Chain A
Amino acid sequence: MLDALDTEPTAHPVTATFKDTRVINMQSNETPGAGVLHFVIAHRFGRINEGAYSLWGLDNASMRMGFDYGLTDRWTLGVGRSTFQKTYEASIKGKLFLQKSDNSVPVSVTYYGVIMANGLRWQEPDRENLFSSRLSYVNQLIVTRKINDRTSLAVVPSFIHRNLVDITSKSHDQWTLGLGGRHKLTHRVSINSEYHFLVNGLDEATTNSLSLGVDIETGGHVFQLHITNSQGMFERAFLTETIGTWLDGDLFFGFNLSRVFS
């Protein structure tokens, strides 16, 4: 009798590609959803290779807090503040295409744009300083695919623009290409990783960002614990201002803790 009820399965958008709105540092395709306030508080401690004297970096925490509000199920507005360079952020994120269960749309494509404002006092307050000099911009396309119920991948090309650079020989514009993934170990625990390749390098000191982490979900909270060679938690910083390397132990332990309110 059940056969008589069978209909062609309708294609639906794939959900839960990633657990949270971020893979580790970078944005995932996920958004909070209409009317949901997503709050994230994140820390990156000091360098692990500072050694026992500063308890392997735990003495020095850098912090970021962010609020993202879901205007619709697809579009989100966000604000954030990091202790790193006292940076303010305003962002917009939107799902442009959704991966479909029947592969008629094989990937999800999400846009993320953020304006960052450096909040540090002017180094030379006596000369003419423009507010626009504080600003930098990042535009990203986040292309994701949930390969199966455990594994998801992300490819994230980013364009970074600074209004002001510290050395005139530096370019105002950079491109990076990010790769990210998550693999679920259980329903509530996954391992995540991401790597950002500097397409046009800044200078000799700058390195590519590599992060490894674990997501633990507990109902309304997601805990993300990770080790990364980037201390900055906003896009311009971790994409283009990473200076340490994994091999030298220039690593930062950190976490993101997110909570939704609806």
Chain B
Amino acid sequence: MKNTLTFLVLLLCSAVSTLDAQQFISRAGHVRFFSSTPLEDIEAETVQMSAILDAGKNGGFAFQIPILTFHFDKALMEEHFNESYLESEKHPRATFEGAILNWEDLNPTGDWQDVVASGNLNVHGVSQTRTIQGQMQFNAGSWEIRAQFDVLTADHEIRIPKMVRNQIAESITVYVDAVLTPR
């Protein structure tokens, strides 16, 4: 009797986890961005991106980056980034919400495969429809993603005054990587 009960509980648990495995999630994704000009290179990173992948038919995908967690080498840069450029109190998160367009063609194998994600990228409270190239692989039960894309400050109404325009690039390169485990 006891054994049967244990078996049933285990069965139930596995059934639930199979259902849940439809979604993969990360709360410790890594984001790094880079601004390069002849005068100054600026770099910042965070390991607090959260991301979610819906492994159902449509390959829905979203991520969210808490802007205040970006860390810079120079304290003053971090302050200016939050105060003057990204206005982090007003717009605390950058988000992407969309889908992996070629989700159906992906194989759950340990090879990096090219993917294309399309959706809305919201930075500084301004949304832009974007198509972003990246790569994914299925490794030890988790989906790993990585991508590199450019964000134009003008696209998101991030105003850069003339006097620092030669120190801050108009186009910021963003690198994203994360390991999404079954939810």
Q: Which positions in A face B, CB cutoff 8 Å? A: 1-2, 4-7, 9, 12, 15-16, 32-34, 36, 70, 73, 101, 149, 187-188, 218-220, 260, 262
Asked if B68 is at the interface (CB within 8 A of a chain A CB), the reply is: yes
Question: In the complex the two chains form, what is the Cα distance from A39 to B54 in whole Å?
Answer: 53
Give 3 closest A-B pairs by Cβ, nearest first.
A33-B75, A187-B84, A1-B62
Would B64 and A5 count as touching, CB distance under 8 A?
A: yes
Asked if B143 is at the interface (CB within 8 A of a chain A CB), the reply is: no
A71 to chain B, nearest CB (A): 13
B62: which A residues are within 8 A, CB to CB?
A: 1-2, 4-5
18 examples of A-B residue contacts, CB within 8 angstroms: A1-B52, A1-B54, A2-B62, A2-B64, A4-B23, A4-B62, A5-B25, A5-B51, A5-B52, A15-B82, A16-B82, A33-B75, A149-B90, A188-B84, A188-B161, A262-B73, A262-B74, A262-B76
| A interface SS class | loop
B76 to chain A, nearest CB (A): 6
Asked if B97 is at the interface (CB within 8 A of a chain A CB), the reply is: yes
Would B164 and A219 count as touching, CB distance under 8 A?
A: yes
B159: which A residues are within 8 A, CB to CB?
A: 187
**Which of these, B50, B68, B73, B84, contacts A12 with CB under 8 Å?**
B68
Q: With contacts A4-B52, A36-B74, A101-B89 known, what are 18 further pairs, Cβ within 8 A?
A: A1-B60, A1-B62, A2-B64, A5-B25, A5-B62, A6-B64, A15-B82, A16-B83, A34-B75, A36-B76, A73-B75, A187-B84, A187-B159, A188-B84, A188-B161, A219-B164, A219-B167, A262-B75
Question: In the complex the two chains form, what is the Cα distance from A1 to B61 in whole Å?
Answer: 8
A16: which B residues are within 8 A, CB to CB?
A: 79, 82-83
Question: In the complex the two chains form, what is the Cα distance from A101 to B66 in whole Å?
Answer: 14
Asked if B46 is at the interface (CB within 8 A of a chain A CB), the reply is: no
Asked if B92 is at the interface (CB within 8 A of a chain A CB), the reply is: yes
Would B95 and A2 count as touching, CB distance under 8 A?
A: yes
B27: which A residues are within 8 A, CB to CB?
A: 7
Q: Which positions in B face A, CB cutoff 8 Å? A: 23, 25, 27, 50-52, 54, 60-64, 68, 73-76, 79-80, 82-84, 87, 89-90, 92, 95, 97, 159, 161, 163-164, 167
B82: which A residues are within 8 A, CB to CB?
A: 15-16
Question: In the complex the two chains form, what is the Cα distance from A245 to B73 in whole Å?
Answer: 45
Q: In this complex, what residue of B is CB-closest to A9?
A: B92
Question: In the complex the two chains form, what is the Cα distance from A36 to B164 in whole Å?
Answer: 21
Would A219 and B80 count as touching, CB distance under 8 A?
A: yes
Question: In the complex the two chains form, what is the Cα distance from A36 to B72 in whole Å?
Answer: 13
Say yes or no: A4-B25 contact (C-beta < 8 A), given A15-B83, A16-B82, A188-B84: yes
Question: In the complex the two chains form, what is the Cα distance from A180 to B30 in whole Å?
Answer: 41
A33: which B residues are within 8 A, CB to CB?
A: 75-76
Q: In this complex, what residue of A is CB-closest to B98?
A: A1
B98 to chain A, nearest CB (A): 9
Residue from B62, B76, B92, B161 having most chain A Cβ neighbours under 10 A: B76
Residue from A1, A4, A15, A16 having most chain B Cβ neighbours under 10 A: A1
B163: which A residues are within 8 A, CB to CB?
A: 218-219
Question: In the complex the two chains form, what is the Cα distance from A219 to B63 in whole Å?
Answer: 31
Question: In the complex the two chains form, what is the Cα distance from A4 to B82 in whole Å?
Answer: 25
Question: In the complex the two chains form, what is the Cα distance from A129 to B86 in whole Å?
Answer: 58
B52: which A residues are within 8 A, CB to CB?
A: 1, 4-5
B92: which A residues are within 8 A, CB to CB?
A: 9
**Which of these, B74, B83, B97, contacts A1 with CB under 8 Å?**
B97
Say yes or no: A32-B75 contact (C-beta < 8 A), given A9-B92, A16-B83, A188-B161: yes
B164: which A residues are within 8 A, CB to CB?
A: 218-219
A31 to chain B, nearest CB (A): 9
A185 to chain B, nearest CB (A): 13
B95: which A residues are within 8 A, CB to CB?
A: 2
Would B54 and A260 count as touching, CB distance under 8 A?
A: no
Question: In the complex the two chains form, what is the Cα distance from A14 to B5 in whole Å?
Answer: 53
B87: which A residues are within 8 A, CB to CB?
A: 149
A9: which B residues are within 8 A, CB to CB?
A: 92
Question: In the complex the two chains form, what is the Cα distance from A70 to B25 in whole Å?
Answer: 40
A230 to chain B, nearest CB (A): 28
